[in-house]
Amino acid sequence: MSDTALAAKQAKAKELLDEQTRQTVRWHFSDETGCPFWLEKKREFKFDPLKEVNSFEDLKKFPNFEDEWLRGGPIRRWVPKGLADKPVYVFETGGTTGIPKSRMVIEDHWIDYENFSDTLPDEHFPRGSNWLMLGPSGPRRLRLAVEHLAQYRGGICFCVDLDPRWVVKLLKKGDISGVKAYADHVIDQAVTILSAGHDIKCAFATPKLLEALALKLMDKGSSIEESGIKGIFAGGTEFTPQWYRFCREELLGPNVYITPTYGNTLMGLACGKPFDPADNFKITYYAPQPRAVIETVEFNDYNQVVPYGSTGRVKLYTMTKELFVPGFMERDEGEREKPHDKYPWDGISGTRPFHEFAATTTVGVY
Amino acid sequence: MLEIPVIRWGQPYESMEKDKIVHFETGEAVATVNNANAGLIKMDMRKQGKARDILRQFSIDQLCSMAEKAADLYQNATLPLGNGTQSPAEFCRMQSATTGLPEHMCAGNMKKNAYVLRNMRHTLEALTRGLPLEILTKGYGMESRGVMVSYQAQTNVLGMVLPSNSPGVHTLWMPVIPLQIGLVLKPGPQEPWTPYRMYEAFAQAGVPREVFCVYPGGPECGAAVLETCNRAMIFGGIPTVERYHGNPRVQAHGPGFSKILFGDDMVDQWEKYIDLMAESVFANSGRSCISCSGIWASRHTEEIAEALAKRLGPIAPLPMSDPKSPLAAFTVPGAAKAVNAQIEELVKAPGVTEVSAKYRNGDRHVAHERYDFLRPTVIHCTSTEPAIANTEYMFPFVSVVKCEQKDMISKIGGTLVASCLTKDESWSRQLLDATNIDRLNIGEVKTIQLHWMQPHEGNIIDFLFRARAFQNSPPPSH
């Protein structure tokens, strides 16, 4: 694609982003449609969001979103008045100790995964085929989101029981054999599902669980490919270039497609740039704009985007009718990447735990 | 820039993840090391049976000859290393540059490793108590006394999760290849040098490369080695040792809390043993688990502490290349400061005196921009009660503790090496029976003086092989 054509796509994407910004702010800060949290918060601001937020850049007028605001109730304070009559889900993050952070959701997880579905190649994720969801269950968004993805594509989703909070507890106790036993328990469930004649062709898995499943199948003289799986999207924990390469070259083989994803309960799901040998397994993610945005910002100025190729901290924005997050500092860092033909806005590569937190954070437990 | 690959059953592998290991003084990169990932290790370990099959194509005697040749290559040859080469002098310089150990100590450890390799036949003869070695290969055989014996290998490979701070530990895995067991090495982040040089020396001496894996990488690589090797060793602190306590697959090596114990019959001649005590505390900059961290006696403890402090207290850091450089540097940011603060807190306990301070002419903690030193420290304890009476740090540190002889064995706790100065037969018998002492020296032996024909923290033969019953004809009727 020529630079001019890409520039035109970028300009169009920016127009859509500005429009999404205006609509979202209007929705969340209007007395008729906004949620109690933001309407209350509006009184503290020295600006009027309804008048003074006209572009994405204007979101910098808001203070950074503090994820602590999501801890504890009442959860209804996050439900926009404009959606008050809808059934509400609540999804949690964290929570090994203390009160978890909660996000209320109505249909965002469906919309996010329907949009994501549009990026999946049908030849590797055949429509109508059944899915395996090999990730956390319980009060997590992933389980219902992946299930909806399967249904949206005409399939049925088979799930496992997996409680990551228990795994974190075992790790904190230093109970390595307990962690191994729990991982075996989860993988055994997956192997049983795959062996039960359910015609499963697609899967979501975290990198660690996919690795464990593939090795377990090899121990049984089989493989992911032989089990019938053709396409996998993976995420939920750190997905490194080395693991990507190992996965493609050794774990899965050439006939199983895998695509990395990056996301969380607040933002939704960022897609990986389609695999290109020229990238040398570098993984670049693009947020689902205009519903969510990823910026890579300076470590000492969260309102300043780093130059392309430079390292910075991940800053997330969510702008849907259900949730407004005007800049949340994620616990990750990475390198800012240029727009891509398929995703004509900034991306991020090399995502990894933010170096200031890395030493004290338990990551990638499942 | 020197670039070191992952080794997968002898094949070099370039990873997408590389770490630079840097000179501790300047921060300048010394080499780039390719990192493995856990899944890759688990994948490779599915083929571990092949390593033992390959090694059993040679006799143990042939492998001992290769080990002898490897000793010379390791000690004297310029060997390939990644995309470059490394001479013995470069080995010492690089090891010193990344670990903070003075170069002459690196050379000393090199000599020790080569000695063990060169004397492999004697070592195996000693560790197997004279067992005909083909029995280990074949699995069974008749001893000269007419008894059928059988030894079954418990693993095809030994996994080693190695530390960065103590190049002396490598002697422990030297006998593994001659015992026809493959080697899976996860080097310490700052000390890839010995594993790679030893791998190359073995290979050049004729050992097939396919029996070696070397996996630099993060903690998940160590965990993968421990998970997939049926026998593995790991080095770490007390939590590591406690975590693997009772796990027959993992031998965890931690602090030694090694000590010198004076018997009442010899303590009045303590002055004769000042050299023995000082060298036990000070050798290898006090970094080894066999370095003495406690000297226990029923009397004269004040004089012993004073004499040791006078000897060790004035010692100060010198450049790493100085042949007399006495102290290793702390290269992990904040580690020396934390240890120093802990000692300062512990010496406040009743009955505790730091005796070395007055001889040091400066602070214990010598801080530089990128590294630190801790200068030798001698503590006196009037009883066994203070916490500092039985502790160990990674620098020349010793507590001289007053304790009645009759209480010593029960109060010293777990002790890797106890050098006991006594001729008291009754007490010697009690020392021999004390299960909390691993290596026991009764006589004028420094704690750091190991005879490599003796087992260390368990006999590696017993760790790798299981003695079991085997019969190929009915036993005599009875």
Inter-CA distances, B66 with A163, B8, B48, Å = 52, 21, 21
d(CA B347, CA B340): 11
Cβ proximity of B248 and B155 under 8 Å: no
Instruction: Verify whether the Cβ–Cβ distance B243 to A174 is below 8 Å.
Output: yes
State the amino acid at position A215 in one-letter form: L
Cβ proximity of B304 and B277 under 8 Å: yes
Nearest CA in chain B to A350: B17
- How close, in Å, is residue A153 to chain B by CA atoms? 31
Q: Which of B17, B35, B42 sits opposite A215 (nearest CB)?
A: B42
Instruction: Verify whether the Cβ–Cβ distance A242 to B46 is below 8 Å.
Output: no
Nearest to B461 by CA among B38, B149, B85: B149
Span A235-294, pLDDT tens digits: 888 889 999 999 999 999 999 999 999 988 888 889 998 888 889 899 999 999 999 999
Instruction: Verify whether the Cβ–Cβ distance A240 to B37 is below 8 Å.
Output: yes
d(CA B412, CA B389): 9
CB atoms closer than 10 angstroms to residue A197:
8
Quote the pLDDT of residue A363. Answer: 47
Please name the residue that has the structure tokens 């572009």.
A55
Q: Which of A176, A211, A281 sits opposite B39 (nearest CB)?
A: A211
Cβ proximity of B177 and B58 under 8 Å: no
Element (H, E) at A9: helix A3-29
Cα-to-chain-centroid distance, residue B108 = 14
DSSP assignments along A281-334, one per residue: T--EEE--TTTEEEEEEETTEEEEEPPTT-EEEEEEEEESSS-EEEEEEEEEEE
Q: What is the 3-state secondary structure (H, E, C) of A92-158?
A: EECCCCCCCEEEEECCHHHHHHHHHHCCCCCCCCCCCCEEEEECCCCCCHHHHHHHHHHHHCCCCEE
- How close, in Å, is residue B369 to chain A by CA atoms? 20
Nearest to B380 by CA among B406, B357, B409, B413: B357
Identify the three-state secondary structure at position A11.
Answer: helix
Copy the structure tokens of residue B205. 């001496």
Among A167, A171, A172, A176, most B C-beta atoms within 10 A, so best to mutate, is A176
Strand partners for B402:
B297
d(CA A310, CA A304): 12
Chain A residues close to B227, C-beta within 8 Å: 180
Cβ proximity of B301 and B401 under 8 Å: yes
- How close, in Å, is residue B243 to chain A by CA atoms? 7
Copy the structure tokens of residue B261. 């114990």
Q: Which of B17, B37, B43 sits opposite A215 (nearest CB)?
A: B43
Q: Which of A215, A240, A280 sits opposite B17 (nearest CB)?
A: A240
Nearest CA in chain A to B36: A242
Domains detected in chain B: 3-254 (3.40.605.10), 258-442 (3.40.309.10)
The backbone region for A55, taken as left when phi is positive above 0, alpha when psi lies in -120 to 50, beta otherwise, is: beta
Chain A residues close to B219, C-beta within 8 Å: none
Cβ proximity of B453 and B147 under 8 Å: no
Chain A residues close to B16, C-beta within 8 Å: 240-242, 244-245, 280-281
Nearest CA in chain A to B38: A243
Cβ proximity of B448 and B280 under 8 Å: yes
Chain A residues close to B17, C-beta within 8 Å: 240-242
Instruction: Verify whether the Cβ–Cβ distance B39 to A215 is below 8 Å.
Output: yes
**How close are the terminal C-alpha atoms of chain A, in Å?**
39
Q: Which long-range contacts (CB under 8 A, 24 or more apart) does B58-64 make?
A: B58/B180, B59/B133, B59/B134, B59/B137, B60/B124, B60/B133, B60/B134, B60/B136, B60/B137, B60/B178, B60/B179, B60/B180, B61/B121, B61/B133, B63/B177, B63/B178, B63/B180, B63/B207, B64/B120, B64/B121, B64/B124, B64/B178
Inter-CA distances, A310 with A157, A317, A327, B272, Å = 40, 20, 20, 65
The series of mean pLDDT values per 10 residues for chain B, 478 residues long, is 97 96 96 97 97 97 98 98 98 96 95 95 93 95 92 98 83 95 96 97 98 96 95 91 89 94 98 97 92 97 98 96 95 94 97 96 94 97 97 96 98 96 98 97 95 85 96 88
Nearest CA in chain A to B43: A215
- Measured at the CA of B169, the angle between CA B287 and CA B217, to 5 degrees, comes to 100
Question: Whole-model pTM?
Answer: 0.91
Nearest CA in chain B to A221: B46
> Is A83 exposed, middle or buried, given 0-12, 13-18 or 19+ CB atoms closer than 10 A?
middle
Instruction: Verify whether the Cβ–Cβ distance A240 to B40 is below 8 Å.
Output: no
Nearest CA in chain B to A241: B16
Identify the three-state secondary structure at position A348.
Answer: strand
Q: Which of B16, B42, B239 sits opposite A245 (nearest CB)?
A: B16
Q: Which of B15, B223, B243 sits opposite A242 (nearest CB)?
A: B15
Chain A residues close to B42, C-beta within 8 Å: 211, 215
Q: Which residues contact A177 (CB under 8 A, 6 or more apart)?
A: none
Quote the pLDDT of residue B167. Answer: 64
Length of chain B: 478
Instruction: Verify whether the Cβ–Cβ distance B43 to A280 is below 8 Å.
Output: no
- How close, in Å, is residue B192 to chain A by CA atoms? 20
CB atoms closer than 10 angstroms to residue B34:
23
CB atoms closer than 10 angstroms to residue B39:
23
Chain B residues close to A218, C-beta within 8 Å: 46
At residue A190, φ and ψ (nearest 5 deg) are: -65, -40
Cα-trace Rg, chain A: 21
- Measured at the CA of B406, the angle between CA B401 and CA B411, to 5 degrees, comes to 50
- How close, in Å, is residue B15 to chain A by CA atoms? 6
Q: Max CA-CA distance within chain B?
A: 79
Chain B residues close to A245, C-beta within 8 Å: 16
- How close, in Å, is residue B239 to chain A by CA atoms? 9
Chain A residues close to B46, C-beta within 8 Å: 215, 218-219
Chain B residues close to A215, C-beta within 8 Å: 39, 42-43, 46
- How close, in Å, is residue B332 to chain A by CA atoms? 14
pLDDT tens over chain A, length 366 residues = 688 899 999 999 999 999 999 999 999 999 999 999 999 999 999 999 999 999 999 999 999 899 889 999 899 999 999 999 999 999 998 777 789 999 999 999 999 999 999 999 999 999 999 999 999 998 999 999 999 999 999 999 999 999 999 999 998 888 888 999 999 999 999 999 999 999 999 999 999 999 999 999 999 999 999 999 999 999 888 889 999 999 999 999 999 999 999 988 888 889 998 888 889 899 999 999 999 999 999 999 999 999 999 999 999 999 999 999 999 999 899 999 999 999 999 999 999 988 887 655 454 555
- E strands along B298-363, which residues? 352-354
Instruction: Verify whether the Cβ–Cβ distance A174 to B239 is below 8 Å.
Output: yes
Give chain B's contact residues with A (Cβ, < 8 Å).
Answer: 15-17, 35, 37-40, 42-43, 46, 223, 227, 239, 243
The size of the A-B interface in CB pairs under 8 A is: 39
Span A80-99, pLDDT tens digits: 999 999 999 999 987 777 89
Instruction: Verify whether the Cβ–Cβ distance B223 to A176 is below 8 Å.
Output: yes
Instruction: Verify whether the Cβ–Cβ distance A176 to B243 is below 8 Å.
Output: yes
Among B6, B8, B34, B43, most A C-beta atoms within 10 A, so best to mutate, is B43
Among A246, A258, A275, A281, most B C-beta atoms within 10 A, so best to mutate, is A246
CB atoms closer than 10 angstroms to residue B11:
13
Chain A residues close to B43, C-beta within 8 Å: 215, 246, 250-251
d(CA A283, CA A270): 12
Quote the pLDDT of residue B454. Answer: 85
d(CA A324, CA A292): 10
- Fold (CATH) for A13-279: Rossmann fold (3.40.50)
Nearest CA in chain A to B226: A176
Quote the pLDDT of residue B169. Answer: 86
- E strands along A163-279, which residues? 200-205, 231-234, 257-264, 268-272
Element (H, E) at A179: helix A176-194
- How close, in Å, is residue B141 to chain A by CA atoms? 34
Q: Which of A174, A176, A241 sits opposite B16 (nearest CB)?
A: A241
DSSP B330: B
Instruction: Verify whether the Cβ–Cβ distance B43 to A250 is below 8 Å.
Output: yes
Chain B residues close to A182, C-beta within 8 Å: none
Chain A residues close to B223, C-beta within 8 Å: 176
Instruction: Verify whether the Cβ–Cβ distance A251 to B46 is below 8 Å.
Output: no
- How close, in Å, is residue A282 to chain B by CA atoms? 9
